[in-house]
Structure 1
Amino acid sequence: MKTLAPALQVHLDDGTTTLAWCWRIARADGASFGFTDHDRTLRFDGTDFEPESGLTASEVRSGSDLSVDAQDAEGVLTSDRITETDILDGRWDNAEVEVWRVNWADTSQRLLMRRGAIGQIRRGRLAFVAEVRSLAHVLGQTVGRTFQASCDAALGDARCGVDLEDPAYKGTGAVIDMLRDRAFTASGLGGFAAGWFTFGTIEWTSGANAGRRTEVLGHDVTGGVAILTLLEPPVRGIAEGDGFTIRAGCDKRIETCGGKFANTVHFRGFPHIPGQDTVLRYASRDGGHDGGVL
């Protein structure tokens, strides 16, 4: 149950209201945006909520159980603040959303209606529709460790402990020539063996994709020249001479953890758990099936 400020309650009881919806969106990269369905800019809590910004919202779909409440935010791709490339880059994914009901005549009279996050985004030729999920969606996320043979840590995080700034695991280079939309030859990586950067990450330092990061699907070497294949083609085209920083990858196997990173002590998987063949074994009188310890 929400408690209204006395001034807002008086305004609602008056019968003639001056109310508007405001949405504040905070992306993971630190950028913050404010939108409103009113016809002029509203300001509060250090945010400007702009009208005619290419964003409108549907009714809120909510229930009395623990299902995820949702609301659709629809916008146009021609907005200066919401661009197609930013959506494709994933910059709006899981952005935090606040939905406010505000007295536009006096913005000190306002009520935070709900909090949530940007979910699925559907794009068309000229517009997009973003799903705004309630905080209940967090209850559906997996929490805790996964009992599996491979490691469940992210390479370089606190649980893993590998220093990806070590020159042995980090390289810099530039694009020599494009082979496909997501594959290219690269200079500067002659000191690394083939496969060293497979499943790693590449961060662009110059060119149209500067500041963006993507995953490396494959790293091959032909004639002493590195060939890199990205998991997905970048939103903006790659050009000859684009610079990048690349970091080693890991396939999450204990053999790789020990042989490549000398980090077996921090391996976060369970490589010795019985496989399906062992689990499905049955007791019998012939050898190896007597019900004894395996």
Structure 2
Amino acid sequence: MSVQFNEGLAAHLASRLTTVCHAWAITRKDGVVFAFTDHDRPLAFAGFEFRADTGLSALALAQSTGLSVDNSEALGALSDVSLREDEIEQGRFDGAEVRAWLVNWADTTQHWLNFRGSLGELTRAGGGFRAELRGLTEGLNRPLGRVYQKPCSVVLGDGACRFNLSQESYAQTLAVEAIEGARRFVWQTFEPFDVDWFTRGRLEVLDGPAAGLWGMIKSDRNEGAARVVELWEPMRGLVTEGTQIRLVAGCDKRVETCRLKFNNFDNYQGFPDLPGEDWVVSVPSSKGTNSGGSLR
């Protein structure tokens, strides 16, 4: 959150006649930027070109100086030139960065960043949408710390795992041969990977309307002479025959998989020797000698 108030804007707001409006910039995780203003003419400042009368209009903004979560809502219209329904449905706006300014449209050097956060839940109805805006303190509203459990607690290939997924034996790029129900992919010709090699992995779309989207792989199996890869959920974008995709090997978080499949045991983030429930409920035996050894 910006704490510096533009002195020129402060003087303007103190005058009897003001010419102010709101401006919004949305930056998606894929780098695409959308900028809007509720003024009737386009504006340019802070490195953005703000479109007029498209995109967003703000409701009440609740902010605080403590650690409570700042929140707001914004309303908008769906259109091909601003925020499209299919892109919202595909999740391309999930977690996008949002910045909002109060600006003097007669002199855009007078502007104040009065909100910064991210997009939360988006709902669509009647050709429009309602967006939940979450402030920077939202990050304080989630639990942090390690989980003590037998399975590994990190994501394959991330900074804690450190495994290099670009190796040829752990991923392959190929074209879609057949697709059923946006979730079942079938190939008659397939690289000689072991069955279940890609189970719990990722299917990433590299081109076409769904480029940049990915899905979690539920199963990877042989059906006769065909190789079938099935997702947990249908792809939210259009994937057709010939679309280039990338299959990434899966990990079931077990220590045996980390050691034998990925040869990455040094970075295993689970606790395989953690005692189980049987050990916790074990009690000394009333028979025999209780020497301090195993209770079994």
Q: Deviations over 1:112-132 (max 9, x none)?
A: 112111111122252221110
| Alpha-carbon distance in structure 1 between the residues aligned to 2:174 and 2:107 | 55
CA 73–287 in structure 1, closer or farther in 2 if over 3 Å, else same: farther
| Alpha-carbon distance in structure 2 between the residues aligned to 1:5 and 1:64 | 19
Q: Which residue of the partner structure matches residue 101 of structure 1?
A: 102
| Corresponding residue pairs, total | 294
Q: Which moved more, 1:46-55 or 1:275-284?
A: 275-284
Q: Which residue of the partner structure matches residue 261 of structure 1?
A: 262
Q: Which residue of the partner structure matches residue 219 of structure 1?
A: 220
CA contact (8 A) 2:214 2:235 kept: no
CA contact (8 A) 1:21 1:101 kept: yes
Q: Which residue of the partner structure matches residue 134 of structure 2?
A: 133
Amino acid at match of 2:7: P
Q: Give the CA deviation at 1:67.
A: 2.4
Amino acid at match of 1:61: A
Q: Which residue of the partner structure matches residue 12 of structure 1?
A: 13
Q: Are 2:23 and 1:22 aligned?
A: yes
CA contact (8 A) 2:220 2:229 kept: yes
| Alpha-carbon distance in structure 1 between the residues aligned to 2:269 and 2:90 | 30
CA 13–78 in structure 1, closer or farther in 2 if over 3 Å, else same: same
Name the SS of the counterpart of 1:257 in structure 2.
helix
Q: Give the CA deviation at 1:3.
A: 4.5
Structure 2: stretches of 5+ with no match in the other structure:
none
TM-score by length of 1: 0.90
Q: Which residue of the partner structure matches residue 152 of structure 2?
A: 151
Amino acid at match of 1:266: N
Name the SS of the counterpart of 2:61 in structure 1.
coil
CA contact (8 A) 1:171 1:189 kept: no
Name the SS of the counterpart of 1:50 in structure 2.
strand
CA contact (8 A) 1:173 1:186 kept: no
Q: Give the CA deviation at 1:209.
A: 2.3
| Alpha-carbon distance in structure 2 between the residues aligned to 1:272 and 1:97 | 44
Q: Which moved more, 1:226-235 or 1:176-185?
A: 176-185
| Alpha-carbon distance in structure 1 between the residues aligned to 2:18 and 2:230 | 58
| Alpha-carbon distance in structure 1 between the residues aligned to 2:225 and 2:99 | 53
CA contact (8 A) 2:71 2:134 kept: yes
Q: Are 2:175 and 1:177 aligned?
A: no
| Alpha-carbon distance in structure 1 between the residues aligned to 2:231 and 2:135 | 33
Q: Deviations over 1:89-111 (max 9, x none)?
A: 22211111111111111011111
Q: Give the CA deviation at 1:219.
A: 0.8
Amino acid at match of 1:159: A
| Alpha-carbon distance in structure 1 between the residues aligned to 2:188 and 2:74 | 44
CA contact (8 A) 1:172 1:188 kept: no
Q: Which residue of the partner structure matches residue 228 of structure 1?
A: 229
Q: Which residue of the partner structure matches residue 142 of structure 1?
A: 143
Q: Are 2:93 and 1:92 aligned?
A: yes
Q: Are 2:86 and 1:53 aligned?
A: no
CA contact (8 A) 1:70 1:132 kept: yes
Q: Which moved more, 1:201-210 or 1:42-51?
A: 201-210
CA contact (8 A) 2:213 2:237 kept: no
Q: Which moved more, 1:165-174 or 1:133-142?
A: 165-174
What RMSD, in angstroms, separates the aligned Cα atoms of the two structures? 2.4
CA contact (8 A) 2:90 2:237 kept: no
Amino acid at match of 1:47: F
| Alpha-carbon distance in structure 2 between the residues aligned to 1:226 and 1:38 | 55
Name the SS of the counterpart of 2:74 in structure 1.
strand
| Alpha-carbon distance in structure 2 between the residues aligned to 1:129 and 1:268 | 40
Name the SS of the counterpart of 1:58 in structure 2.
strand
Q: Are 2:251 and 1:250 aligned?
A: yes
| Alpha-carbon distance in structure 1 between the residues aligned to 2:263 and 2:5 | 59
Q: Give the CA deviation at 1:286.
A: 4.6
Amino acid at match of 1:10: A
Q: Which moved more, 1:168-177 or 1:43-52?
A: 168-177
Q: Which moved more, 1:46-55 or 1:61-70?
A: 61-70
CA 199–288 in structure 1, closer or farther in 2 if over 3 Å, else same: farther
Q: Give the CA deviation at 1:290.
A: 8.5
CA 241–7 in structure 1, closer or farther in 2 if over 3 Å, else same: closer
Q: Deviations over 1:158-213 (max 9, x none)?
A: 32232212121112333232333311212542401211001111222344323432
Q: Which moved more, 1:23-32 or 1:1-10?
A: 1-10
Amino acid at match of 1:44: F
Q: Which residue of the partner structure matches residue 273 of structure 2?
A: 272
Q: Give the CA deviation at 1:63.
A: 4.7
CA contact (8 A) 2:188 2:225 kept: no
Name the SS of the counterpart of 2:176 in structure 1.
strand
